[in-house]
Each structure stands twice: as C-alpha cells, then as structure tokens.
C-alpha cells in the first residue's frame, strides 16, 4: 500500500478558508445574540408583572402593620392612663391618711400641752399661796420677836438685852470676814499698798469720802447697823479700779453680792450728781472760743471744743 504525499495548501486557499470560518462565527454569534435578547425581553415582561404583584402585596402588608401598631399604641396609652389614675388615687389616699394622722397627733399634742400648762398654773397658784402664807408667817414671827425684844430691853438688864439682840440679828445678817478691809482702813496702812489696791492715794480717797458723805450715808435700824460711808465708797472704788467680779468684791469686804452691786450703783450715781458738777464743768462761751482757737491753731480744724476728763494737779517747785 502506497501512501500518497499530503498536499500543502497555498496562501490563497488558506485565506479562503479563514474567511469562511469568520462568516460561520459571525452568523453563529448573531443568532445567539438574537435569541438572548428575545429571552431577556420575555424574562423582563415576566419580572415586571411579578414586581407589580410583589409591590402591591408589600403595600398591603405595610398598611396592616401601621394600623396594628396604631391600635397597639392606643391600647398601651389607655392602659398607662388607667394605671396612672389608679396610682394617683392611691397617692391621694395615702396623703389624706397621713394628713389625718398628723392632725390627730397635733390635736393630741395640743391637748397634752393645755393639760400641762393648766397643771403648771395650778402649781404656780399653790406655790404663790404658800409663799404668801410663809411670808405672812415670817412677818408675824418677826413682829412678835421685835415686840419681845423691845420688851426685854426695857424690862431686863442691859447685858441680857444686848445678847438677845445680837442673837436676833444673826437671823438677818450673815457673818463674813472683813479682815482685809479692816487692814486697808487702818490709819497705819501704807499709802503705797493702798494706791496699788484702789489706784488712788489715801488723801484722794478721804476727799471723796468727805464730799460724798451726805449723799451715801444711811441710818441704822433696829435689825442691823448701816454700812459705814468709807466701806461703801471703798466697795465702788475697788470694783472700778480692778474690774474684779462681784463675788470677789463680796469676799474682800465681807458683804453680800447683791449688797456690793447696790453699793456700786449708789456710789456711781452720787459721784455723777455731786462730784461731776464740782470738778468737771463745761466751759462758758468765752472759754469755749479760746479752746476752739487753740485747737484750730494746732490742728487746722475749726470749731472743735471740749473738756479734758483727766484732772492733773500742777506741781510747782519753789526756787531759791
């Protein structure tokens, strides 16, 4: 068997075959594209009708959801309003109950206070009655004792009468130590010590006592002897000079606290009424003009005048 040699194609034959293949491919592509376009159109029509159906269905479901949510909101609002109304009624009932309890408690407290005050009034009334009764009994006893004392002084011997009087005075006067004042009031007491205690010399103190003698002197009574003038003035001067409390003043001078307070007020009033008019005087018109002129020449401020409350004695030294 002989195999014939394969004939090789030339260029013209190859180009003819190539053009043939291209025509076949173009026809196939056109056919396929037309079929694809037809299919897409058909699918598009089917999809459009389906979308319309889906859209209408979705609209219906949305409307139903909105209506159902509105109904639920309305129901929730009604329930909340009912719950609020119930809670407000409960709160109001609780407030009313608390108010009633407070009113009841206040009424009870007021009634208790009224009873307490009425009891206090009754106690004060009975206490006043007892005090008056005791005062009347003491006054009657004092009158009887004074009568008995006077009769015993007139009828009995002098020694016995004085002893009874001293014993009777002990009921009215408390014995206190007066050693400190007796030592200061002694004529031999040093002037320097006196100045330290009273912030003045013994001569100045004697001058004050002499000036205020008529203003502060008290008379003796049947029950007690009056406090001497020097002791009265000394109580006030020592209180003003040291500023010590009345309790210490009472211990120093052997007097009661209330008595010392009364003496300070009386002596201060006497100093104001007696000594101030004599030693502290307001200048007359001519003297005031001179004082204003001197003050203006020193400070340059016009129309300023007054008096000096410090009194200093001039110390003249003899020459030769």
In the block, tokens 């006497």 appear at 270
Q: Which range scores top for mean pLDDT: 43-47, 161-165, 281-285? A: 281-285
Q: Does residue 26 have a pLDDT over 50?
A: yes
**What are the b/e assignments for 264-288, b being 16+ CB within 10 Å?**
bebbeebbeebeeeeeeeeeeeeee
Q: Does residue 50 have a pLDDT over 70?
A: no
Q: Does residue 84 have a pLDDT over 80?
A: yes
Predicted pLDDT of residue 212: 94
Predicted pLDDT of residue 205: 95
197-215: pLDDT as tens digits: 999 999 999 999 999 999 9
236-268: pLDDT as tens digits: 999 999 999 999 999 999 999 999 999 999 999
User: For the chain, which residues make up each domain, given as ranges?
Assistant: 79-172, 177-299
φ/ψ bin of 254: left (φ > 0), alpha (ψ from -120 to 50), beta (otherwise): left
**Polymer length of the chain:** 320
Report the share of the chain in percent with pLDDT over 90: 29
- pLDDT top residue among 294 and 174: 294
Distance between CA atoms of residues 239 and 218, nearest Å: 21
Structure tokens at 312: 């200093």
110-154: pLDDT as tens digits: 888 888 887 877 787 777 777 777 776 766 666 666 665 555 544
Predicted pLDDT of residue 157: 44
């Amino acid at each position: 068997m002989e195999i014939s040699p394969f004939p090789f194609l030339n260029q013209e034959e190859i180009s003819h075959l190539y053009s043939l293949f291209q025509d076949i491919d173009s026809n196939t592509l056109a056919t396929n594209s037309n079929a694809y376009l037809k299919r897409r159109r058909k699918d598009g029509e089917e999809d459009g009708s389906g979308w319309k159906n889906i859209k209408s269905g979705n609209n219906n479901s949305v409307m139903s959801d909105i209506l159902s949510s509105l109904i639920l909101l309305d129901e929730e609002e009604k329930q909340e309003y009912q719950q609020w109304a119930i809670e407000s009624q409960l709160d109001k009932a609780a407030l009313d109950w608390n108010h009633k309890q407070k009113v009841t408690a206040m009424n009870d407290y007021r009634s208790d206070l009224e009873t307490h005050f009425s009891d206090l009034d009754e106690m004060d009334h009975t206490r006043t009655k007892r005090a008056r009764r005791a005062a009347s009994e003491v006054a009657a006893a004092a009158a009887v004792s004074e009568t008995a004392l006077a009769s015993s002084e007139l009828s009995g011997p002098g020694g016995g009468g004085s002893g009874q009087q001293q014993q009777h005075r002990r009921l009215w006067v408390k014995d206190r130590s007066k050693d400190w004042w007796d030592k200061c009031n002694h004529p031999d007491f040093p002037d320097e010590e006196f100045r330290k205690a009273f912030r003045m010399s013994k001569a100045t103190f004697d001058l004050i006592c002499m000036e205020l003698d008529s203003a502060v002197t008290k008379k003796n009574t049947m029950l007690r002897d009056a406090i001497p003038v020097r002791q009265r003035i000394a109580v006030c001067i020592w209180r003003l000079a040291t500023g010590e409390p009345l309790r210490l003043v009472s211990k120093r001078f052997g007097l009661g606290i209330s008595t010392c307070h009364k003496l300070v007020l009386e002596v201060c009033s006497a100093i104001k009424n007696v000594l101030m008019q004599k030693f502290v005087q307001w200048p007359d018109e001519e003297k005031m003009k001179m004082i204003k002129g001197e003050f203006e020449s020193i400070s340059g401020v016009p129309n300023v005048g007054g008096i000096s409350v410090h009194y200093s004695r001039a110390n003249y030294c003899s020459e030769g």
